[in-house]
């Protein structure tokens, strides 16, 4: 399975037309068609359904597209990161969820880009499980975990910042007059909870034997969209502090949980791997920023 053929395959899947893809790739249409046919024979399966006006992917083709994008991206990033000793360039890719701790990380990434304009920075958002998978398969250089997690397989640095759990609600909510929210305050309230945290039973100890009485109406992965359900009065949302969208600040407010729930923030990278110069620079600057906090 050659990178060149994967690039051909991706171009056709994007253009949905072999002629247009051939023009984009600067190859002839017959050559591209033969390469794809040979590729299908090599894999022993059909990747495309060839229609009159456009082609579409089979289920096998759709699966290959997702994997091909990862493979080609990793190959391109690796090529960019191979530079001379005098030049720092390439990609710096960090995957993380939403957290106030990301401000330190983003500031560092921005400073590196300013000092070394050939460095391209990439932020990927998702759950900790998604970010760990991407870190392990090489799609990201670093992952930022919020909360306790098994770190035996990684090198890591813990940030001084922490995340505090609480409830995002409308300012005119009946709970907004409270300074902190207890489990009994949430009884019968419609709740939105992170899909990752509900799968990990993160709040099991916090609400104790009241868990079965909680009215969980839905889950979310990222806070931004879920806040609209809070803004229109549909739900209360369990989330970290400092994540209220600035455009919603006039409508929404945050109250911490009581008893409090505080999460550590840790940046991790794979053990026993050769780091690019960009990655080494990032770690060096992160360590310096942590030292300055001492």
- 212: Cβ contacts below 8 Å, ≥ 6 apart: none
Q: Which pLDDT score, from 0 to 100, does residue 248 have?
A: 61
Mean pLDDT of 158-181: 94
Q: Given pLDDT bands bounded at 50, 70 and 90, which one contains residue 271?
A: very high
Question: pLDDT, tens digit, for every residue of 69-105?
Answer: 888 888 887 777 665 455 678 889 999 988 888 899 9
Residue closest to 141 by CA, chosen among 65, 90, 99:
90
3 state SS of 87 = coil
Q: Which pLDDT score, from 0 to 100, does residue 214 have?
A: 94
Higher per-residue pLDDT: 33 or 82 = 33
Q: E strands of the chain, at which residues?
A: 48-50, 55-57, 90-96, 119-125, 142-146, 154-170, 190-194, 215-220, 236-240, 252-256, 262-270
Q: Which pLDDT score, from 0 to 100, does residue 284 have?
A: 94
Are the CB atoms for 143 and 266 separated by under 8 Å? no
Instruction: Compute the chain's Rg from CA coordinates.
Output: 24
Higher per-residue pLDDT: 292 or 7 = 7
3-state helix, strand, coil in the chain (%, to 5): 45, 25, 30
Higher per-residue pLDDT: 264 or 198 = 264
pTM of the model: 0.70
Q: Which residues pair with 47 in a beta bridge?
A: none
Question: pLDDT, tens digit, for every residue of 13-24?
Answer: 988 888 888 888
Q: Which pLDDT score, from 0 to 100, does residue 163 have?
A: 93
Q: Which pLDDT score, from 0 to 100, does residue 96 have?
A: 92
* Dist. CA 77–CA 140, nearest whole Å: 10
DSSP string, 147-167: S----TTEEEEEEEEEEEEEE
Question: pLDDT, tens digit, for every residue of 122-160?
Answer: 999 888 888 999 999 888 999 999 888 889 999 999 999
Q: Which residues pair with 95 in a beta bridge?
A: 124, 143
Domains annotated for the chain, with CATH where assigned, are 3-80 (1.10.10.10), 87-161+264-293 (3.40.190.10), 164-262 (3.40.190.10)
pLDDT at position 221 over 70: yes
Question: pLDDT, tens digit, for every residue of 97-115?
Answer: 888 888 999 999 999 999 8
Residues in the chain: 294
* Dist. CA 272–CA 132, nearest whole Å: 16
∠ CA 279-283-288, nearest 5°, is 150
Q: Which pLDDT score, from 0 to 100, does residue 95 have?
A: 92
Mean pLDDT of 61-72: 89
Residue closest to 154 by CA, chosen among 271, 247, 253:
271
Are the CB atoms for 95 and 140 separated by under 8 Å? yes
Q: What percent of the chain has pLDDT over 90?
A: 48
pLDDT at position 53 over 90: no
**Taking all residues of the chain, what is their mean pLDDT, rounded to a whole number?**
89
Q: Which pLDDT score, from 0 to 100, does residue 83 have?
A: 54
Question: pLDDT, tens digit, for every residue of 223-243?
Answer: 888 999 999 999 999 999 988
């Amino acid at each position: 399975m050659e990178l060149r053929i994967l690039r051909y395959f991706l171009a056709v899947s994007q253009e949905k037309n072999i002629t247009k893809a051939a023009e984009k790739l600067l190859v002839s249409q017959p050559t591209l068609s033969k390469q794809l046919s040979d590729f299908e024979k090599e894999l022993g399966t059909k990747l495309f359904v060839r229609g009159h006006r456009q082609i579409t992917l089979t289920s096998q083709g759709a699966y290959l597209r997702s994997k091909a994008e990862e493979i080609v991206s990793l190959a391109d990033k690796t090529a960019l990161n191979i530079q001379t000793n005098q030049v720092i360039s390439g990609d710096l890719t960090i995957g993380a969820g939403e957290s106030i701790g990301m401000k330190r990380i983003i500031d560092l990434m921005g400073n590196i880009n300013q000092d070394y304009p050939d460095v391209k920075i990439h932020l990927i958002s998702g759950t900790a499980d998604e970010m760990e998978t991407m870190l392990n398969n090489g799609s990201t250089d670093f992952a930022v975990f919020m909360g306790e997690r098994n770190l035996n397989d990684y090198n890591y640095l813990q940030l001084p910042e922490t995340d505090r759990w609480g409830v995002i609600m409308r300012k005119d909510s009946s709970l907004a007059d409270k300074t902190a929210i207890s489990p009994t305050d949430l009884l019968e309230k419609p709740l939105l909870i992170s899909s990752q945290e509900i799968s990990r039973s993160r709040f099991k100890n916090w609400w104790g034997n009241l868990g079965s009485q909680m009215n969980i109406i839905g889950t979310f992965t990222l806070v931004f969209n879920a806040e609209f359900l809070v803004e229109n009065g549909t739900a209360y949302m369990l989330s970290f502090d400092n994540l209220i969208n600035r455009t919603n600040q006039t409508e929404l407010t945050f109250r911490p949980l009581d008893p409090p729930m505080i999460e550590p923030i840790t940046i991790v990278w794979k053990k026993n791997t050769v780091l690019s110069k960009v990655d080494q620079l990032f770690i060096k600057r992160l360590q310096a920023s942590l030292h300055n906090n001492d």
